[in-house]
Amino acid sequence: MTLGDMLQRHAGQAVVATAIITEAVMTQLRGPAAGIAVGVAAAAGGLWAAQGRARQKSAVSMGAAAQALTWQPHAGRRPRPSEGDTYRHLAARMRQTTEHVRRTTTERGLEKVSLATFDETGSWADARSTGHGRRGHVWLGMRWLHPRHTTHLPAVLEHELAHLQRRDTGKRIAAESTAVATAGLAAGFLPLP
């Protein structure tokens, strides 16, 4: 990831942090100002929520592309005779996982859930999910599909599907936005020691 990518990805967070730090410094220099504190808190919390929602929607909408690039090439075809036993097991486990998710998606009140493997280094043992409305996306590290660790896959997958069913991504964004707004209020009213 380049510096430009990181700045673009975290621009909202940088703006919020800069506003709260600036507010804390100004409070220290000039004393508390209720109007400014409330304004910064509302703007910071709102910006955090808007950025979180946009990233959430983007992640779910990009789920189909991630599935097409990382999951379907393996789960969408039968292994060739020349491919090894480990690959055959991975591909079979991916097909089983796809079928399980298809079967249980409507039972959980979800519309569509896409699956993909991670493309980031060091994430082979991760599992994450994000949802937006009734749609969701699950990222699985290859560890959970490997023959030595595949016994853990059902529990890991059910855990991530439960996050989607409970709409945890939206709740997390709301909690983070509230925390950011509270930090903005605190920075405007509480002087630094």
DSSP assignment of 14-47: HHHHHHHHHHHHHHHHH---HHHHHHHHHHHHHH
DSSP state of 78: P
C-beta of residue 108 within 8 angstroms of C-beta of residue 165 = yes
* Angstrom distance (rounded) from CA 43 to CA 41: 6
Helical pair 11-30 and 168-189, crossing angle rounded to 10 deg: 20
Q: What is the mean pLDDT of the chain?
A: 86
Do the beta carbons of residue 14 and residue 3 sit within 8 Å?
no
Spatial contact of 184 and 40, defined as CB atoms under 8 Å apart: yes
Q: CB within 8 A of 106, min separation 6: which ones?
A: none
φ, ψ at 168 (rounded to 5°): -65, -30
Q: Assign 77 to helix, strand or coil.
A: coil
pLDDT digits (tens, 9 = 90+) for 117-160: 886 666 778 888 999 888 999 999 888 888 888 888 899 999 99
pLDDT per residue, tens digit, the chain (193 aa), is: 577 767 777 777 888 888 888 888 888 888 888 888 898 899 999 999 998 888 888 888 888 888 888 888 888 887 788 888 888 888 889 999 999 999 989 888 899 999 998 866 667 788 889 998 889 999 998 888 888 888 888 999 999 999 999 988 889 999 999 999 999 888 888 876 6
- In angstroms, the CA 8 to CA 63 distance is 20
Quote the pLDDT of residue 20: 85
Which of 60, 97, 102, 101 shows the shortest CA–CA distance to 75?
97
What SS3 class is residue 103? helix
